[in-house]
Amino acid sequence: MKLRFTLLLAVVICLPFIIQAQYSPAKSRIAFEKLKHDYGTFKEELGVQTVSFNFKNAGPVPLIINNVQASCGCTTPEWTRQPVAPGASGLIKVSYDPKNRPGVFNKTIRVSSNAENADVVLTILGNVTARARTIEEDYPNEIGPLRAKTNHVAFSQIKENQVKKDSVEIVNNSAQPVQLSFKTPPPHLSAVIKPATIAPKQKGYIVVSFDASKIKAYGFVMHRIYLNIDGKDDYRNSIAVSTTLEEDFSGLSPAELATAPAVKYDAESFDFGDIKPGSKVEHTFNLKNIGKRDLVIRDVKSSCGCTAVSPSKNMIAANESVPLKVVFDSAGKSGRQNKTITIITNDPKNPTTVLRIATNILTQ
């Protein structure tokens, strides 16, 4: 009796597993010949390199590749799209583009399928030897017969009375010597070319100096320096020079800072909502000096000629408020518009404020 009970208990325990095994759906199995490919060292100029990862369906039901995802846009996979029958073969074709990617690389490709081993990771690796770069690539900006690494000298912020220097590297890309000079630059800018005559394929420098003490301006400014090449004047041969000019508050004492002017706006943005094309709309911001000395509006700049700004006065006494009227002209524009107005004052803690206006110009 005891033996029968034991056998019965064993059958009861094993029965669920027997049923589960009997009714578990069969799955395919993806079996790759290899999971990694090493391209070794190859030259960049050889272009795209391709390898095929061959696989077989080692399961009893058709295999379906759902997706193949590369870890990098430089790696492009292709794969067998049709279901792969049991015992049949397929492939994952992987291409690597070495253009502008010299050096060692190690990329992965994730293969997702309906197989028992649903996610498989393939790997490609190698080392790309950099090709020789052309003058045009290293010096992308053309200035007559010259090529430059940049045609824009962008100084960071410059304080009033400060002088900064920077340079532009150039190369003579012609077969003849080139003699360089400058048209008269603005008083606050000076430039020197080293050397003044550049032999074919020889490099040189344009050294630019910006003297902030010689310009009465605040905020962002941009100018151009024009070159004479072999004595010839051509407006297309120029270097742009830009910076943001800032008032220097570093010399103020703690007492002066405590009694300094301070600007406050009732709002720093306004949305006109929907407006008709060709219409003009206006909004008035309120500016108040909450400091203890006169607040001076140094400059007002709008991001677009379509936006006119007119403060009622430029010097605001302590605790005085003044209106700042902004007029937006929608002529020639359509759709969503976002414009800015930059206000520069002598507030040492908040010298620059950007006000924003927005609107949506309806279609007719």
pLDDT tens per residue across span 110-130: 999 999 999 999 999 999 999
Alpha helices in 24-127 (DSSP H): none
Would you give the DSSP letter of residue 19? H
Q: How far apart, in whole angstroms, are the C-alpha atoms of residue 73 and residue 146?
A: 35
To the nearest whole number, what is the mean pLDDT of the chain? 90
* Residue 73 confidence class, pLDDT cut points 50, 70, 90: confident
Residue 52 pLDDT > 50 = yes
Q: How far apart, in whole angstroms, are the C-alpha atoms of residue 97 and residue 48?
A: 4
Q: 46: helix, coil or strand?
A: helix
* Residue 15 confidence class, pLDDT cut points 50, 70, 90: very low
pLDDT tens per residue across span 295-351: 999 999 998 888 888 888 999 999 999 999 999 999 999 999 999 999 999 999 999
Residue 11 pLDDT > 90 = no
- Pairing, β 146-148 against β 152-154: unpaired
Q: What is the pLDDT of residue 285?
A: 94
Q: What is the pLDDT of residue 13?
A: 52
Of all residues in the chain, the percent with pLDDT exceeding 70 is: 93
Question: Please, are residues 35 and 80 in contact by the beta-carbon 8 Å criterion?
Answer: no
Q: What is the pLDDT of residue 330?
A: 92
Closest CA to 241 of 231, 253, 256, 226: 226
Residue 74 pLDDT > 70 = yes
* Residue 16 confidence class, pLDDT cut points 50, 70, 90: low
What are the structural domains, with CATH classification, of the chain? 30-129 (2.60.40.10), 136-246 (2.60.40.10), 254-361 (2.60.40.10)
What would the mean pLDDT of 33-39 be, rounded to a whole number?
96
189: which strand partners?
A: 210
pLDDT tens per residue across span 223-244: 999 999 998 888 889 999 999 9
Question: Please, are residues 168 and 151 in contact by the beta-carbon 8 Å criterion?
Answer: yes
